[in-house]
A and B are shown apart, each in its own frame.
Chain A
Amino acid sequence: MSQTSQVRASSPWWIPTAVAALVLALLCGAMIGPAGPTWWRVPLELLNRLPLLTINSGVTASEWNIIWLVRMPRVVLAGLVGATLSIAGASYQGVFRNPLVDPYLLGVAAGAGLGATFVFTINRAGSSTWLVDPLPLAAFACGLGAVLITYVVGTAFGGERSSTTLVLAGVAVTSLVTAVQAFLLQRHTDVMREVYSWILGRLSTATWTDVRLVVPYVVLSSTVLLFHRRLLDVLRVGDDEATALGANVTRIRLVVVLSATLGTAAVVAVSGLIGFVGIIVPHAVRLLAGASYRVVLPLSLLFGAAFLIMADIPGRILSNPAETPIGVVTAFLGAPFFLLILRTRQASR
């Protein structure tokens, strides 16, 4: 009798499928764009660049620069952002046992928005000569700070094991931070347009520097979250029963929330607020491959990366040469999907 093999039987093909989807998305991202070489030459040139392989792809040096310095950083950054938002979203849904929360729940988005607003209102133009761009730093620090305040306030008032008070504290902190941001913007209406364009999210200015900036956080946060995938399954039976099963619920929630927030704050700092990814991708994964977090977390990471790379492509082409912000594209796809999930969940009750 081998029930064990059957429990995991749902998953063996999903990881390779997700990897294939990601590779395909990476290739599409590298091949498609308004300028640059004919699309089919790009994969040949990429192979040519691999060691020990020489293929004459007919791509000129300047065309290669378009691929390597314009398209690739953007594609890779989209992948990192999509992967992080998706795995962070899935983890948040796990620790709060609520399928409709996203990684912005505890105020990271509002905090990052306030940080960005600070930079724009204080002196954006002046900071261009600085050694380090203060915008992602301020967004990162304020995003993380907002969540820490939420956590401290939530646990101080809610006892040590209440996720409801944590969520409510998140709502309060988000409103407060948004109010401060609105106040600042009212006094500096000149920067409103820039702030809103930042909030809508964009990957168009991506460089390898951005990629290098976020990689450590993304790797750290995803690794910690992946290590918690079995424990997130334990939490599915609720705080009380998870405790009775020997899980340290408070510590698990703290570690998961902080790692997910760290990753989210880092990607928000370089890409702005890209909505719905953290909800759509984990749910699509659940519908396809089952609800166990052992499957949901790694698949969200891979499909999330593939999804955001693909979602970035219409933005580049639609209103060329102007860009459609990627946050608009994901919200356009995400909002109907969100309603669909809501409907199917209610139907299943």
Chain B
Amino acid sequence: MTSLNLETVSVRYGQRNAVMEFSETVRPGEWLCLIGPNGAGKSSLLRAIVGIVAFTGNIVVDGTTLRDRNSRRRAQLVAYVPQAPVMPTDMNAYEYVLLGRNPYVSHFGSETMHDNSMVDSVFDRLDLTDLAHRQLGTLSGGERQRVAIARAVAQEAPILLLDEPTSSLDIGHQQQALELVDKLRREHGLTVVSAMHDLTLAGSYADRLVLMHEGHRVVGGTAQEVLRAETLAEFYGVSVHVHHEPDGTVAVIPRRSLRS
């Protein structure tokens, strides 16, 4: 299992600071969830870890800073599922998941038998075998999300980053996708960092939540510690009722401001 250390990570887009000196340690096998209002810097932080945007500070995986790794080695350590994955309509699901093997294929080489059997087993484990030969353009939202996760799994990286994995899904598929991530995490010892808007779901799946606001890390801890009505009122500007279930689940219920 692999740890992830973020040391004063900052991301700038021109004049705008998207992430400001963010520090956090994600323990091996932990699921950390970034929460915060739109524009808080959650996605930018994930994109910095995966190497899509430039950053200052240090990102350390198992003691080695990611900057010292080449792009293929980094992709062997960190897999990423974006909020809206690009899915070429005329590519089939098998070809798409096979792209996850890119970090292991030499520049001008092609996939080996091992890569292909690896992808076969991913389809098997994720119960996606029926989708393998479907064109991506014909898949439903839930199927697309599972195929995107399958590609990240095929990457065999110990760290999995998920940007809004449930944003386009109905409540059943939201649960299905998160259960899948949780299962993979337990089976493969993955370290997971996700950004999520649904606070109740975030709180019930993640081990720890970190609240971000305008690029800063505001507060981190368990769902009980972070999901407090006063905190959410301050940083989201909402009025919510926080309900604690007997099993420890924290439900965040928005309240109407005015009733006529």
Interface residues of A (CB under 8 A from B): 1-4, 6-7, 227-228, 230-231, 233-234, 236-238, 240-241, 243-248, 286, 290-292, 294, 348
Determine whether B71 belongs to the interface, using a CB cutoff of 8 Å to chain A: yes
**Chain B residue with minimal CB distance to A241?**
B86
Q: Please determine whether A244 and B124 come into contact, CB atoms closer than 8 angstroms.
A: no
**Chain B residue with minimal CB distance to A245?**
B102
Q: Please determine whether A243 and B95 come into contact, CB atoms closer than 8 angstroms.
A: no
Q: Please determine whether B72 and A3 come into contact, CB atoms closer than 8 angstroms.
A: no
Q: Please determine whether A7 and B51 come into contact, CB atoms closer than 8 angstroms.
A: no
Q: Please determine whether B133 and A236 come into contact, CB atoms closer than 8 angstroms.
A: no
Q: Please determine whether A246 and B91 come into contact, CB atoms closer than 8 angstroms.
A: no
Q: Please determine whether B99 and A290 come into contact, CB atoms closer than 8 angstroms.
A: no
With a cutoff of 8 Å between Cβ atoms, the chain A residues found around residue B52 in the complex are: 240, 243-244
**Chain B residue with minimal CB distance to A5?**
B116
Determine whether B42 belongs to the interface, using a CB cutoff of 8 Å to chain A: no
Contact with A along B101-145 (1 / 0, CB 8 A): 011010111100100110110011000010011000100000000
Q: Please determine whether B51 and A3 come into contact, CB atoms closer than 8 angstroms.
A: no
Bound-state CA distance A301–B76 (Å) is 34
Q: Which B residues from 19 to 52 make CB contacts under 8 A with A?
A: 47, 50-52
Q: Please determine whether A244 and B86 come into contact, CB atoms closer than 8 angstroms.
A: no
Q: A1-B129, A291-B91 are in contact. Are A245 and B108 (CB under 8 A)?
A: no
Nearest CB on B from A221, distance (A): 15
Q: Please determine whether B103 and A4 come into contact, CB atoms closer than 8 angstroms.
A: no
Bound-state CA distance A233–B151 (Å) is 14
Q: Please determine whether A245 and B137 come into contact, CB atoms closer than 8 angstroms.
A: no
Bound-state CA distance A243–B102 (Å) is 10
Q: Please determine whether A245 and B88 come into contact, CB atoms closer than 8 angstroms.
A: no
Q: Please determine whether B102 and A241 come into contact, CB atoms closer than 8 angstroms.
A: no
Determine whether B100 belongs to the interface, using a CB cutoff of 8 Å to chain A: yes
Bound-state CA distance A243–B86 (Å) is 13
With a cutoff of 8 Å between Cβ atoms, the chain A residues found around residue B51 in the complex are: 243-244
Q: Please determine whether A238 and B120 come into contact, CB atoms closer than 8 angstroms.
A: no
Nearest CB on A from B79, distance (A): 8
A6, A227, A245, A246: most-surrounded residue (chain B CB, <10 A): A246
**Chain B residue with minimal CB distance to A240?**
B52
Nearest CB on A from B61, distance (A): 14
Q: Please determine whether A1 and B120 come into contact, CB atoms closer than 8 angstroms.
A: yes
Q: Please determine whether B120 and A348 come into contact, CB atoms closer than 8 angstroms.
A: no
Q: Looking at chain A's contact residues, is the secondary structure mostly helix, strand, loop, or mixed?
A: helix
With a cutoff of 8 Å between Cβ atoms, the chain B residues found around residue A247 in the complex are: 71, 102
From A3, A234, A241, B94 is in contact (CB under 8 Å) with A3
Nearest CB on B from A333, distance (A): 24
With a cutoff of 8 Å between Cβ atoms, the chain B residues found around residue A230 in the complex are: 105, 108-110
Q: Please determine whether B99 and A291 come into contact, CB atoms closer than 8 angstroms.
A: no
With a cutoff of 8 Å between Cβ atoms, the chain B residues found around residue A248 in the complex are: 71
Nearest CB on B from A253, distance (A): 14
Q: Please determine whether A234 and B92 come into contact, CB atoms closer than 8 angstroms.
A: no
From B74, B88, B110, A236 is in contact (CB under 8 Å) with B88
From A244, A290, A294, B75 is in contact (CB under 8 Å) with A244
Number of A-B residue pairs having CB atoms within 8 Å of each other in the complex: 91
From B91, B94, B155, A245 is in contact (CB under 8 Å) with B155
Bound-state CA distance A339–B105 (Å) is 38
Q: Please determine whether A240 and B82 come into contact, CB atoms closer than 8 angstroms.
A: yes
Q: A227-B108, A241-B86, A244-B50 are in contact. Are A7 and B102 (CB under 8 A)?
A: no
Nearest CB on A from B76, distance (A): 7
Bound-state CA distance A248–B102 (Å) is 11
29 of the cross-chain contacts (CB-CB < 8 Å) are A1-B120, A2-B120, A3-B116, A3-B119, A3-B133, A4-B119, A4-B120, A230-B105, A230-B109, A231-B107, A233-B91, A234-B99, A234-B102, A236-B86, A236-B91, A237-B87, A243-B50, A243-B71, A244-B50, A244-B51, A244-B52, A245-B100, A246-B75, A246-B102, A286-B90, A290-B90, A291-B90, A292-B91, A348-B137
With a cutoff of 8 Å between Cβ atoms, the chain A residues found around residue B55 in the complex are: none
Q: Please determine whether A245 and B120 come into contact, CB atoms closer than 8 angstroms.
A: no
With a cutoff of 8 Å between Cβ atoms, the chain B residues found around residue A294 in the complex are: 110
Nearest CB on A from B209, distance (A): 24
Q: Please determine whether A246 and B76 come into contact, CB atoms closer than 8 angstroms.
A: yes
Nearest CB on B from A134, distance (A): 37
With a cutoff of 8 Å between Cβ atoms, the chain A residues found around residue B100 in the complex are: 245
Bound-state CA distance A4–B113 (Å) is 9
Q: Please determine whether B85 and A7 come into contact, CB atoms closer than 8 angstroms.
A: no
Contact with A along B55-78 (1 / 0, CB 8 A): 000000000000000011111101
Bound-state CA distance A243–B78 (Å) is 11
With a cutoff of 8 Å between Cβ atoms, the chain B residues found around residue A244 in the complex are: 50-52, 75, 78-80, 82
Q: Please determine whether A237 and B88 come into contact, CB atoms closer than 8 angstroms.
A: yes
Task: Rank and list the top 8 A-B pairs by shortest CB-CB distance, nearest first.
Answer: A246-B75, A246-B103, A246-B72, A4-B116, A238-B86, A291-B90, A244-B80, A245-B102
Determine whether B167 belongs to the interface, using a CB cutoff of 8 Å to chain A: no
Determine whether B204 belongs to the interface, using a CB cutoff of 8 Å to chain A: no
Q: Please determine whether B124 and A245 come into contact, CB atoms closer than 8 angstroms.
A: no
Determine whether B89 belongs to the interface, using a CB cutoff of 8 Å to chain A: yes
With a cutoff of 8 Å between Cβ atoms, the chain B residues found around residue A243 in the complex are: 50-52, 71
**Chain B residue with minimal CB distance to A10?**
B92
From B80, B86, B110, B123, A3 is in contact (CB under 8 Å) with B123
Q: Please determine whether B99 and A245 come into contact, CB atoms closer than 8 angstroms.
A: yes
